[in-house]
Structure 1
Amino acid sequence: MPTGVHIRDVREQLFGAAERVLLRDGPSALTSRAVTAEAGCAKGVLHRHFADFDAFLAEFVLARADRMDAEAAALRRSAGTGTVTGNLTGALTALFESAAVAIVALVTFRDELRARLRRTWPAGVPVLTEAAEMTARYLAAERDLGRLAADADVDTLAFMLIGAGHMLFADRTGAPPDAGTVRGTVTAVLAGALPPSP
């Protein structure tokens, strides 16, 4: 690899490379050499910006969790429009077609990464925890608008939706579920919480 070449926004370039390797080849293939090769830079570039590879991975996972802020805002803005089932079907599909499932596998695969994440993220897996919170906030907004039952337990529903969505998309080797399958799962989870149709 060439050295001495200035790279703009090194961290994001390395994070993007890590995401591509992770999605393409899985967590076992994610090494510092694979990341720097994918990014087109010398291996030393990564080690100049991060204490070690697990420190890099922890920041990568947290950065990807932070990216969900835009998705959360978009889902929240959709409250009161379309249908609750349709909005959640789109949001779950977008979430799990991203690197979310692969990040869960990565966190599960690497003990040291989990230990580092626990220092700043005391419970759960960052991407899934953020997704559950995003979904609960959306469901609460829909409940406030009367499009969900007044006694709907939005936190439990959110966990159920994220868990079911993760299971639907967990097989990286097969084809992802189609929209009808995702919609059917969302409909089943929300069955008791949606008010009856007029």
Structure 2
Amino acid sequence: MPTGVALRAVRAQLFEAADRVLRRAGPSGLTSRAVTTEAGCAKGVLHRHFADFDAFLAEYVLDRVERMDEQAAKLRESAGTGTVADNVTDALIAVFGSVAVAIVALITFRDELRARLRETWPAGVPVLTEAVELVRDYLAAEQDLGRVSGDVDGLAPTLIGSAHLLFADRTGPAPDREAVRATVVTVLGH
């Protein structure tokens, strides 16, 4: 890799490589060597930009959480359109069809990563707590429109937990849309 490459480009390249390795090999296969090999760069590139591998992983997780902002905006904009069950179903499939399930396993797998994340993310698992906020904000908007009743602060984590269980086996086939929708309808009660 040429010197002088912008940090942002290196970070993006390494994070995208981490996505691929994590999906393919799971948390135990996600090593600095695997990431740099996948990214097509020398191992020293990662260590030039991050204090150590756990610092890289913490930045990676937080970057993937930030990417959920786009999904959150899209979901909020859908308030009042379509059906609530379809909108939530699509959002859950987008969240859990991404690398999110593997990231949850990664955070569970690595004690030092959890400790690093606690420095900036004081409670919960970053991907899951962000997903809860995404769904809660949407349900609150729908509640304001009279399309959802009930306690959105309770419904949102129930939906995320239920969806996580549906998608938890990252090595098996993902649940089909109807299975996810059936869960959403059951939790929402409509």
| Pairwise TM-score range, normalised by the shorter structure | over 0.9
Aligned partners of 1:29, 1:80: CA distance in 2, in Å?
Answer: 43
* Other-structure match for 1:156: 154
Letter in 2 for 1:189: V
CA offsets per residue over residues 115-168 of structure 1, 9 Å max, x none?
00001100001111000001000000000000012xx11011000000000000
Cα displacement (A) at 1:6: 5.5
Aligned partners of 2:2, 2:10: CA distance in 1, in Å?
Answer: 13
Please, what is the CA RMSD of the aligned residues? 1.0
* Other-structure match for 1:26: 26
CA offsets per residue over residues 66-104 of structure 1, 9 Å max, x none?
001000000000000000000001000111000100000
Kindly indicate whether residue 176 of structure 2 is the aligned counterpart of residue 184 of structure 1.
Answer: no
1:45-194 to structure 2, matched below 5 A, reads: 45-149=45-149, 152-191=150-189, 194=190
Aligned partners of 1:133, 1:91: CA distance in 2, in Å?
Answer: 12
Cα displacement (A) at 1:28: 0.1
Q: Which has the higher helix share?
A: 2
Letter in 2 for 1:129: T
Identity fraction in percent: 70
Aligned partners of 1:91, 1:10: CA distance in 2, in Å?
Answer: 29
CA offsets per residue over residues 2-50 of structure 1, 9 Å max, x none?
x546545000100000011001110000000000000000000000000
Aligned partners of 1:85, 1:137: CA distance in 2, in Å?
Answer: 15
Matched pairs, number = 188
Aligned partners of 1:45, 1:97: CA distance in 2, in Å?
Answer: 30
- Structure 1 segments of 4 or more deviating over 6 A? none
Structure 2 residue runs of 5 or longer lacking an equivalent are none
TM-score by length of 1: 0.93
3-state DSSP class of the match of 1:187? helix
Letter in 2 for 1:84: V
Structure 1 residue runs of 5 or longer lacking an equivalent are none
